[in-house]
Structure 1
């Protein structure tokens, strides 16, 4: 019997050993993970970093990297090659996992790491042509020896770091997900930049607008999607005169009406993804020099999307934030100029309904001819399962998607091809390479000419006193409203007809009002001749910024910092007085009356300590749904909803608006009926969710700000960040979205900058610098940026990078 017991014990032991070294679903191999020498314990940073010398193959000379007290690296190199090689190496030391995951996502390779749960996302990424677009960009970059050298040097630096890692030194996420870093190919930089194009320029509502047009008609679409709100204040002010003759394409004789009730694939964009930027001239500042401010609004993650750095070498000295995987500084300043960006939101993604000759899809109809398609085979590896082969058909428009009807299962599926700016050959990094070295306005304009996508509002200020803003990127020439509905893929009149000339895109330099600004609102006034889009951000943030700047004089950097934290809600100020006026107070209970009285005293600021913001958001949302949802839910088709600013304007100005009446009841509802009913509904919902009015009703709780780990690994994020702000306020913080980098720069003989982002320099959850700046960010503080003109004599610690063969 002893041999049986011994055998059973051996089998159990073997099973335990195998299980501890096997990954089950999202659970890492526990034996490896808890190994005290090589597991997650090995990632804890328990000692203060010390100065050291490191061997980095490929360097031509020694590079000095100085770290300040926030662990921001200041890289001083003796030549450009070493500068970017060192940047790649240093960024990889802090953010390797983030660099890899972003490019795995852009390449449609997440299932390769995580497993079948992300296969559909990978398929969608491939079917949208993301790798195809990156390949075209990389071909363009290879034709530019200077940029090719920069990107290859950066890749060499990343690989120098990867090559020196042993498994016990892998970043923690590699141990959680149980995989190893792979060599960094230079094309990954192109993939990273295409991922930003997807984040910022993949929005589209072609199918929803087509469906809405079919269900509610031209008048409805014109009223809600064509007309601008009265308070709209465009980026380029109406005072700007256009002194060119626009070459506008000819529209077709009759507009194409696609089959309705289709649903096209879309990557969702969270409300709050946008940005603010502005620059004020010296005529409005206390110093007499321009001040520039920028706060791009993106999904907030740990690690942060941005990496703060200074880059110093002969011919360049620049400071700001970079994207992990991309050389140079994306938003920042140098000794002469400062720049920042916000998203433009132009319509650069159109869907075309395709007519194929037969089921083989080898030919499609266009311009009266049958033209050949091309085929791209996407090989998608899936962890733990067989590789998936996905065939994607391409027309001259782009990749083709099969679309099923949502409301009529018997209707044959349609096929739609995508024309998207992300597929254009591009060399966008050259713009930032030029901005990093710019000395004046002319250098800024020259740098912008290299930029393709995603279109950005580039704000600018210089020591020479100039301020400017260009709505910049490759913008397709279109006839009025071209591409806002699904287009006819057989008719060449629906094709993009080239590009708006660079000198004719909306832009302005040194306006009389003394400032420039953007907040994702409409690019230009109606007299701008080219059609750009009908779906810009609501007017609220842009209007508030311009109102404040118009009234300000003797502006200081502190004024700009305070302004970035402004949480005044134009949405509340334009809507709440009407809701209150429409409410039948005689029908309110005692608690409802108390809430009503509280709302009458509110000043429209979305302050964390106030209950009114949470009540308003619930009430306004319920009112919107009560007016719109009964009509919209009469069909399963996806429809386009009006933006909140035009909705408020229509409901306030037109008490007879037909949608106010609930079609599901016999009575004819009025605004008064709905305002009263939705106030009662909101009080009830908030009470059920949070109990009686008190601390849990405060906006800082209701705002629901979570800064999650970028791979959503539990325990590696920061939950319930208590803060003020709102998606419609300048401080556009809400629900995991918001200012991902706040920066203020004062130009002058000695350029000064201030900045913060919600995270820390390190991507290691075991480091004290992983989330060290969140509290400062939450409370509106900015750190003064250590912008050194020469090798600093004071620093926290220093790393010397040397080629191992140089000794």
Structure 2
């Protein structure tokens, strides 16, 4: 039996070898992961090193790079090729994994990394035509010499970094997920931009609104879901007259009404993520020069969505934030101009119900005849499994995302319907940002916008000569009223988009008499505007608060604008709380209820992290909305859309005896008072059950808080339960997982000055001190003064390091 011991030792050795060299479920091969010379330990020891002087043969000339004390690179190049090559190289050095992971996710390739559990996600991304849209964008990029040069140079710069990447510098996520980076491509940059377009335009309301109309009828649907809701202050000042003759849009003779009885679809009542921007004319500022501000609100992740950078060549000196994976600056400024963006929320996506000849889906009925579909076969590679071939059928409307027999993935998407999306069409949004980067006046700004199609945005503008402006810019379909609000008839040509709103007729304003322009995702125009752009815009509160504050300010300084970015006045609560409190019968209150009442009575309507009243009000309002509308809108057709809070507030203030405040499933007739008392008691019970008795645990920063999760949701690499102020109704629109992704204030003068911050850090490496070093200051409402340089020879004391990149010794 002497052979048993050596055999056991051999078995143990083989088991250890297998454990160290092969992936175990979600655990990476421990040998590679724990290697002291190339494993994850090295991500903590190499992450903060400033690059030394380098030889990069792809360069045409010398490039100088200076890093400031926040690790922002300032790139000085002698030509545009080298500028964007260096941008790609340095961005990859800090954010390579983020760039690749995002584009894998957008392109439907996560299964290559995590296996079959991502198959349905990947199938969905392929089905909506994400790569198809990006391929069309690449064609447009290649047709423009400036963007072609930039995107190819950027791509080559990324690949130069990948080729020289040592194992010890391989980003941590590659090691824990056990895969390697692959070469970057121009298509990947296009995919990234289209992914942003999807995130900002995929507000799908057709199914739920079709059910709503089927339940309530046309008249009541219009009352509860108005195109122009109460209290609204549009982006373009109300009463603006339009001096053009609009294009006629022919409406179908009969509305298409699909009877949607299937309640199995998952429905979502989407709300805008929100953003703010504004610009003040010099007549309103202390300096006499314009000030421009922007804070786009997006889902917050680590690594952060933005990468701060300065790009300088003989043609451009621009500072701002870029998207890791794409060249140029997306939001920023130069010596002469500044610009920022908010999401337009206008409708650029429709769903068309189709009738197929048979289950093969090779033909669909259109304009009285059968028309052939086009097939696109997608190969989805599965890590540890067999490749899946998925056939997607395209119509002249767009791709059929789900067949009649398939269950949609996550979204409220109709089966057997085709997607018409502006972003599928060939366009070159990158050109807009390239030309904005080097713009010097309003005409340059307007020329740059002519390239922009999707996702539609509100572009705010200011320049050093004194102009301010705002354009609601995108490629907007010519629509008849309500077109696209409900499921469209894919067989009737009258439901096709009938052309485009001409660029010159897009909503816009320049140098208005009130001395400022602003947007907060609300309705772009009032009812005087002759085109129908959509109806799912943001509620009035943020826009109303911004306009009110700007209108009352005088001798405005940058500090005033930074304060406005952090404004936490809850205009929703200020409008409705006193009316709700007036409904309460205090004699029926318990001691605990009386304490909650007193908290609300003394509240100043500001959502500060250390205040208790915002928590009580938020829980109360959510329960109030559920109590009023859930039974009222029960439907045989499945979930339907309940009215928004502004419509509900309008009912409380103007129609307190409306029938909606009665509960259908009780014998007695309830009133607004009943709804207020019942919902408050329900809210207080929930707060007590979750947070204990009324006290510090009820503070807003604790009951709501904010999570900034790791992009791949890897535990321990995000920031949870941040004690943030603000709310979705405030200018500081911070929520549980979304918020101001970049705050920027630009003040013109003899020398341009700017301030900015985002919730993250320049490095994508969780082991780096620069991974999330901005987060605490962001939570506190601080903003950093930006170091804007004019020369690579600067001796500013904030410069922390520098390097020279050469093509040869």
TM superposition shift of 1:50: 4.8
| Partner residue in 2 for 1:311 | 311
TM superposition shift of 1:590: 0.8
TM superposition shift of 1:264: 10
1:290 and 2:293 matched: no
TM superposition shift of 1:146: 2.1
Per-residue displacement from partner, 1:437-479 (whole Å, max 9, x unpaired)?
A: 0000000000000001000000000011000000001111101
TM superposition shift of 1:642: 1.8
Distance, in Å, in 2 between the alignment partners of 1:474 and 1:47 is: 43
Distance, in Å, in 1 between the alignment partners of 2:48 and 2:469 is: 44
| Partner residue in 2 for 1:437 | 438
Counterpart of 2:805 (choices 793, 801, 805) is 801
Q: Structure 1 residues 164 and 353 mapped into 2: Cα distance closer, same or farther (>3 Å)?
A: same
| Partner residue in 1 for 2:24 | 24
Q: Structure 1 residues 523 and 262 mapped into 2: Cα distance closer, same or farther (>3 Å)?
A: farther
Preserved contact between residue 263 and residue 403 of structure 1 (Cα < 8 Å): no
Per-residue displacement from partner, 1:577-598 (whole Å, max 9, x unpaired)?
A: 1211111222210110111111
1:392 partner SS: strand
Preserved contact between residue 567 and residue 724 of structure 1 (Cα < 8 Å): yes
TM superposition shift of 1:123: 0.8
1:169-568 paired onto structure 2 within 5 Å: 169-262=169-262, 271=271, 273-400=273-400, 401-403=402-404, 415-568=416-569
| Partner residue in 1 for 2:624 | 623
Distance, in Å, in 2 between the alignment partners of 1:271 and 1:27 is: 37
Q: Structure 1 residues 463 and 414 mapped into 2: Cα distance closer, same or farther (>3 Å)?
A: closer
2:721 partner SS: coil
Distance, in Å, in 1 between the alignment partners of 2:605 and 2:272 is: 18
Preserved contact between residue 45 and residue 768 of structure 1 (Cα < 8 Å): no
TM superposition shift of 1:640: 1.8
TM superposition shift of 1:269: 9.0
Deviates more, 1:264-273 or 1:110-119: 264-273
Q: Structure 1 residues 228 and 112 mapped into 2: Cα distance closer, same or farther (>3 Å)?
A: same
Q: Structure 1 residues 22 and 271 mapped into 2: Cα distance closer, same or farther (>3 Å)?
A: farther
Normalising by structure 1, we get a TM-score of 0.97
TM superposition shift of 1:787: 0.5
TM superposition shift of 1:403: 4.5
Deviates more, 1:230-239 or 1:484-493: 230-239
Distance, in Å, in 1 between the alignment partners of 2:301 and 2:21 is: 30
Preserved contact between residue 150 and residue 327 of structure 1 (Cα < 8 Å): yes
1:98 partner SS: helix
| Partner residue in 2 for 1:138 | 138
Preserved contact between residue 48 and residue 768 of structure 2 (Cα < 8 Å): no
Q: Structure 1 residues 38 and 234 mapped into 2: Cα distance closer, same or farther (>3 Å)?
A: same
| Partner residue in 2 for 1:409 | none
Q: Structure 1 residues 587 and 552 mapped into 2: Cα distance closer, same or farther (>3 Å)?
A: same
Distance, in Å, in 1 between the alignment partners of 2:759 and 2:231 is: 32
Preserved contact between residue 278 and residue 294 of structure 2 (Cα < 8 Å): yes
Per-residue displacement from partner, 1:622-677 (whole Å, max 9, x unpaired)?
A: 00000111233444613222221112212332234333222222222111111111
1:621-700 paired onto structure 2 within 5 Å: 621-635=622-636, 637-700=638-701
1:74-223 paired onto structure 2 within 5 Å: 74-223=74-223
Distance, in Å, in 2 between the alignment partners of 1:266 and 1:376 is: 27
1:52 partner SS: coil
Distance, in Å, in 1 between the alignment partners of 2:526 and 2:626 is: 31
| Partner residue in 2 for 1:581 | 582
Preserved contact between residue 140 and residue 425 of structure 1 (Cα < 8 Å): yes
Deviates more, 1:269-278 or 1:544-553: 269-278
TM superposition shift of 1:267: 10
Per-residue displacement from partner, 1:292-317 (whole Å, max 9, x unpaired)?
A: 00000001111110000000001100
Q: Structure 1 residues 573 and 35 mapped into 2: Cα distance closer, same or farther (>3 Å)?
A: same
CA RMSD in angstroms comes to: 1.7
Per-residue displacement from partner, 1:420-445 (whole Å, max 9, x unpaired)?
A: 11211111000000000000000000
Preserved contact between residue 272 and residue 727 of structure 1 (Cα < 8 Å): no
Distance, in Å, in 2 between the alignment partners of 1:108 and 1:543 is: 40
Deviates more, 1:190-199 or 1:639-648: 639-648
2:117 partner SS: helix
Distance, in Å, in 2 between the alignment partners of 1:339 and 1:746 is: 12
1:2 partner SS: coil
TM superposition shift of 1:382: 1.3
Per-residue displacement from partner, 1:286-344 (whole Å, max 9, x unpaired)?
A: 00000000000001111110000000001100000000011000000001000000000
Preserved contact between residue 48 and residue 770 of structure 2 (Cα < 8 Å): no
1:207 partner SS: helix
1:717-796 paired onto structure 2 within 5 Å: 717-791=718-792, 792-794=794-796, 795-796=799-800
TM superposition shift of 1:404: 6.3
TM superposition shift of 1:273: 1.5
TM superposition shift of 1:774: 0.7
Preserved contact between residue 291 and residue 748 of structure 2 (Cα < 8 Å): yes
Unpaired runs of 5+ in structure 1? Answer: 407-412
Per-residue displacement from partner, 1:548-568 (whole Å, max 9, x unpaired)?
A: 000011000000000000010
Deviates more, 1:650-659 or 1:197-206: 650-659
Distance, in Å, in 2 between the alignment partners of 1:109 and 1:702 is: 37
Q: Structure 1 residues 701 and 563 mapped into 2: Cα distance closer, same or farther (>3 Å)?
A: same
Distance, in Å, in 2 between the alignment partners of 1:277 and 1:45 is: 40
TM superposition shift of 1:87: 0.1
Preserved contact between residue 203 and residue 267 of structure 1 (Cα < 8 Å): no
Q: Structure 1 residues 633 and 5 mapped into 2: Cα distance closer, same or farther (>3 Å)?
A: farther
Distance, in Å, in 2 between the alignment partners of 1:70 and 1:239 is: 46
Distance, in Å, in 2 between the alignment partners of 1:784 and 1:265 is: 49
Q: Structure 1 residues 374 and 48 mapped into 2: Cα distance closer, same or farther (>3 Å)?
A: closer
Distance, in Å, in 2 between the alignment partners of 1:547 and 1:526 is: 22
Per-residue displacement from partner, 1:589-622 (whole Å, max 9, x unpaired)?
A: 0110111111111111001110000100000000
Preserved contact between residue 272 and residue 732 of structure 1 (Cα < 8 Å): no
Per-residue displacement from partner, 1:186-231 (whole Å, max 9, x unpaired)?
A: 1111000000001101112001100000011112210122253331
2:714 partner SS: coil
Q: Structure 1 residues 154 and 268 mapped into 2: Cα distance closer, same or farther (>3 Å)?
A: farther
TM superposition shift of 1:8: 1.4
